[in-house]
Structure 1
Amino acid sequence: MRAAGAGEGGSTRVNPAGSTSGSTAEQELRLWLELSPLPMVLFDGAGKLQRRNAAFTALCGAVARLPDAGPGLQALLGWEDGRPVEALRPSAGQSPEPLHTQAKLIDASGRTRWLQGRLRALPGRRVMAVLEDLSAEQERDLAHQQLDALMDTAGVGLATFQQDAGWLKPRAPARSTTAKGKGSALASLQGVGRDIVEPGSMAEFERLQQALKNGDRIEVRYAVRHPELGRRWLLTRVEPGQLASGQRTTSVVTLDVTAQQQAEKRSELLLHELTTIMDGAGLGLAYLRGGTLVRCNAAFESLLGLSPGVPFGTPVSALLKAQPALAAQVQQVLPHLAGSFEAEFEQQVAEAESRWLALTLRRVESAGAEETVAVISDISRLKAQQAELESLVQDRELMFSLSDVGIAILRGGRIARANDALAELTGYRIHELDGLPHHALFDSVDEYRHQQDQVQQALRTSGQWYGERRVRRRDGTGLWMQVSQRAMRPGEPDGGEIATYVNVDDRWRAQQSLMLQTERERAVLDSVLVGIVTVGRGGIEWMNRSARRMFGGDLSEFVGKDMAIVATDDPDHPLRQTHYLDELNEAEAETFECRLKARDGREFWVVGNAVVTGVAPSGRQLTYALLDIERRRQAEAQSVQAQASLRRIIEAAPLAISLHDAKTLALVQANPGAAALHAQGGQLREDMRAALAEPEAVITQREYRLESEDGSQRVWDARFLRLAGGSGASAPEQLLLVASDVTEHRAAEEARLEAAISQRELLVREVHHRIKNNLQGVAGLLQQIATRRPEVAGVISEAVGQVNAIAQVYGLQVGAQGLLRIHRVMEAIVGSVQRMSGRRILTHINGETAAQSLQWVLPEAESIPIALTLNELLTNAIKHSAIDSQVNCSLICHQDSVAVEIDNPGRLPPGFDVNALAGGVSGLGLVRALLPRRSALLDLTQQGDRVLCRVELWPPSVSLQSTQSEP
């Protein structure tokens, strides 16, 4: 038995008993599909069309499955990648929301239709879709847009008037009017009221209003005084009509005919002016009919040498009797003159003077006889100018052809003409340059187009452009040329350009070599610790890195400023002296010592000298070399203060201080506290001799226990120091003894030591913990910046990895006792890189001392550089390997060294040498800069299809601690 709707893609369902499962709901659904005028369809999750009505079949054809349908129908029914889109697959517990789609389909007749679909998911992974044809609305909107564009282009105001509804508002277009005020003035007749109609046109305007009320056809022209546009002439045409419903309507079209009205008045004025000009013009004007004169002005008679008042009907032969050849030629062309005739002739005025005249004949359209206008003008000056111009053109051609400078005329981006010098410079033949695109003379088309924007901007503003470009010769070699382009007609860049080319390749190469040498010299000067400043007559020109650090600012802040900008208020300050540049001889130096005041407020002492460089008076420069001696000054002052303080301490200090002769051990000087100590007698002298036998600058310490007056035992801590007589003396001259009573101190020392150790450990852990938290906060801020600024996300991600690496080191130091274990550092960095990249890294520990890997430790100074190195190498291994490949990190423990090996799939460039890489701030350059130079080795080799990176460390960068406790 066939189920209802089977002919439209429906299916027959049978229950276990074998009867058809057509329920009342299915019958209602079938009837609903048949009655709906809109295309409707029901399909399952596999794309099979279960139900559809006749409207859908007429629109989309006999499609049985969505996977076989076209892309337009699939998009309209929400079918994507072989299944319904995500919006049609609601999760459990959520009510399905309708999905709206739009697509373009081509029906059976070949017509393109715009359709909108409304889809809703049904239980059982089924989807119901209702389609709506929007083609009529699309065509209607397009018609409205075309009508609006036509009305704006023609400057027409269109409105509709109905007797029972009044003025109907026109549909507001979704675009602005092109003419200022025109759209608002002509949108409808509501903008024209009696208050703006001029009195002289009021009668016509009343006729228009009466015709609108009666629905009569009329055309009226009247003048208005618009508040924004001024006086305007309008032409309004009223056309009655009747709608399909039988309702009467009236279409009103208003045109702005101000220009036409003004043109008619100008024509009348021009006709009057032409009559006046013909009577008073300097040109000879005549009106001929056939071959005889009708009328001429006085200038025509004067130029031809005729008597005044030439009568009507005079033949042309009589008018041109002084020029018989011209008269014969004119009589020959007059009967057959179709357009115009021009001729030039020379007229003798005096014996040695002549003048050139030009005759122009033009046929006048007339229904009667053949009529011609003749114009005679004096072209003597024009002839002279033409001769001068020909001479100038000849001179220009000679200059163009014989010039050693390459010259080209450019039109439309191509070479219209070039001279032999340009052909020789570029290696082309002269005919090959004609029509050649201008960009073909340069290395890069993209760079040429980028520079051409600057050239065109300069031509529009100043009419010329000047610069240097690298020109590519015909054989492919490069040549630097000085190029100048100028508009041939100022103010008209489109009228063509003239370009000149001068070979400056030798000068450019020399200049580049000089710049390279200068950069090398400045790089060397930047590496020294002495501040170098170059000063010219215009102020500071350059300074090295040390000078910028001294002055407290960048070079841009000091260029063009006087050296006195960093001088103190002392009027005799050496940097305020201006006579050095003129009075010092070549290579002569002026040495000085003074205080400087930096831009950041610091004041310090410097010693320096000023040397004059350069030979020409205008090119002389003054070079300052400055050395910061603030610490030396402070040391000298502190030394003087220390000596005075020492004398006072010796006299008043509670210490036992005495000075002895090194040879005889005789007492030279002693304070009162030293008397009790000298009671030791022989033991003290033996200790003195032993101290004198020690190496130079070694302080010998002894401890003495003396009985005090109250019977208690006091502990004295004594130190012996050898004092030499001078810097060159080898044997000591004196021996200094300093002793202090440390009885109470020793008693409290142990208690303080234990408290200090506990407090120090607590503070160190707290500091490391806070540093770790702060670094993690910095990493978080950098990640936020990378999210907001995707263009710098790669660079910031590298910085985040480095900050996390440092944070991991400080995290290991929280609660640590002693040095950091290298395998803990490696595990922390591997974990950080895995979290940042989302990749897994396998770690291994092997080698002869692998069982003692926990005892290999890093000094605190090397922990952060090693951590940054491992972070950079692991990041590079992940970055340069496939996302599904394996990256390994191994710790190899030898007897006297430790190595970290990182391998990943990849391939090094041919001839790659890691030792040839320069140090930098990123990549392998950063790794080389971080690793200790004397106790670390970096190696990068290719092993099969994998790249092996090996970092080997040996003492003092690492050490093996046999009794080190676990941090």
Structure 2
Amino acid sequence: MFGPPASAALLDLVGDPVLTLRADLSALRANPAAREWLGQDAAEGWRLLRHAAGLRLETWLREATAAIDAGRAAPPAPPLKLADGQRATLHLLRERPHWVLHARLSAADPGEPPLAEWLVLSPLPLLLADAAGGALLRRNAAFDALCAGSPRHLNDLPELLQALLGWNRAALLPALAAQRPQDAPLVTEAEFVDPQGRQRWLQARLRLWRRNGRTLLLAVLEDHSTLHERDLAHQQLDALMDTAAVGLATFQPEAGWVKAHRKGSPFKAGAKQAVGSLQGINRDLVEPASLPEFERLQRALKKGDAVEVRYAVRHPELGRRWLLTRVAPGLLAGGRRSTSVVTLDVTAQAQAESALLLRAESERAVLDSVLVGIVSVGPDGIDWMNRSARRMFGCELEDVRGRPMGVLAPDADGHPFHAEPGAEVFECRLRGRDGREFWVIGNAVQTPREDGTMQLTYALLDIDRRRQAEAQSRLAQASLARIIEGAPLAITLHEAQGLRIVKLNQAAAALAGRPEAAMLGGTPALLFGAEQGAQAVADMREALASQAVVQREYRVPAGPATRIWDARLLHLAGVGDDDAPELLLMVASDVTEQRAAEQARLQAAISQRELLVREVHHRIKNNLQGVAGLLQQIAARRPEVAPVLKEAVGQVQAIAQVYGLQVGASGPLMLKRVFDAIVGSVQRMQGRVITTAAEGGALLDDWCLPEAEAIPIALSLNELLGNALRHGNGAQVRCQLICDTAGVVVEIANPGRLPEGFLLQNVKSGVSGLGLVRALLPRRSAILSLEQQHGDVVCRLELIPPSVVHNPATKPSS
């Protein structure tokens, strides 16, 4: 028995594809023949093959593995037909803990028709399917356009498309299944809506192809939608035979339209131009609003149903015409069906009806929208009331229809509703159906009706409600004036054009420090001073334009102190009568003490936070130094791990230096202080002296490290200095800090040589050395380089914003 290496070598010599499968039947290894069959990524090719083969292959794999593990013979594998026409026969063997799959490939069946090129070139939808199982074997792009998704079986197609292809309930139609080789193809037709929403009339030619015990279904589909639209257009043209008055035509299913003989037509004389002009009307001439009725007519013509339809057309010569078409089905001698179609031009009648209805609806709509109560009284009593009258009397028209006007008035002699009305204006008391009595002013006019009788129309205005509304308005205005005057808020009204003060209360006068009389007619500068007054004018203009509440704060000098006023500005548009001027309302409150209290609370919170942060940083530093001390003690007891612990101690000390610098500081850390602290820490840990230099002058105090970047950059600098000392062979290490307006550069040089072919990008991320530096540094704002310069190895670390930032206490350098 050969071991795994020997088995793999033997499998590579096999000419057939062989796969070694894991316990979950995924591909583990593949010989060259299998990679040639499935592709260089044999595992992915095997997965795609299983997906394409579907349930048959998965079922066989499950049954075969279960049978072999139970000691039984595996069932035969289903034949797989590949995309290039080849067939594959599979065999499964057990080689614990794996499986071995052997595939024998055979050439394509020479008797199969050459469909590939035919499918690509044909513009018609074509399909080749397994007639027994229903699997879709071949199809072209034109067929794919008829169905959504990627169907693999006839059952996946829409039901109408299945019926068109002779497939019903997972089986062929009996007429197609019984087809013999010498029979003509089976032709089917159906109306089908494709995925794009287009309605098509499709015709399919179906034929079965039998060979070597296998039956295939060949289908060719043709789109007959254009032919059907042409036939329908002919029907529409013939159905709309027009004359000046009546058009007559007869439709027979066998012979189509049979036009009536016009020789004896009573509409020929005097209407010759109309006959010629109305012939040839099609769907495009029908008015859009009449299309539903026109479609109903077409459906009736197709089915032979009786119908009467009126519709409008827009003729290029005769203009807009109304047609009335009546369809009457009947039977001719011999039992043949026919349909008589009679069309009348009813344009004049339709226009008269439309004008009359439009006039009546317009008059009723106007009267129903006015605020005056309108009541129409005919010979039989009240016959109509508008909305205002129904609201005035508290009733609906059905409650008083056909009753005299006296039911809406008190029982009093000489009342205008009980006596014969005159032409003058009257004023009287009325009683509503809800028992409410009120006074109205009105008049009555007599107008003739269509039947020759006279109609009396009353126009009534409820003056009680108007008087009540005026009194309530005056009361409300007086109450509002008292509230404004006594309110502790400063309230002013400004006219919208010049923003001059037209009204103010005592609090507003106290704000300005002037009497109310001196403030009237003044500008906002009287309230807030010249400087704040200009800003207030701009804010008021904004409020006038925005139609929304605008909130602003103004600081007004008050002797040695400054008062803060919170103001709300609102445009009072449309308030009062239509001819009332537009106003701007300003409501201001003194929030000086409130803002001072808020500022004091904020400063206390900031101070407390800074104290807590300093204490936390101090404790973190002490804890880190304690950890470093423990690690040093362990390194002293365990010399074998001393180098590793020494490196960890250096990293902990670097972090502790950062937290130590943050004690007593707020905001970003000074880069120069971090640089000096890390260099000093490394010198103490290594017992070596590092030559340092700094260039940049005032810029050295301008660059800082953000809090989020301080520890990663400090650790990186610690690792770069330690790395230079380790590889410097005891020679002097030089470190230079260079600052300019664009950023910061840290340059470290030590004697030594880089390995041959050394590339910094090949260094993998790790927990120490260059690997840790590459892992810690930000990708976009830090650039690390390592190069050989004569006998020195020079490491450059370039930092640009946002890894470094300008000192908030100084202005950025130009």
Larger Rg: 1
TM-score normalized by the length of structure 2: 0.32
If asked which structure has higher relative contact order (CA below 8 Å, sep 6+), I would say 2
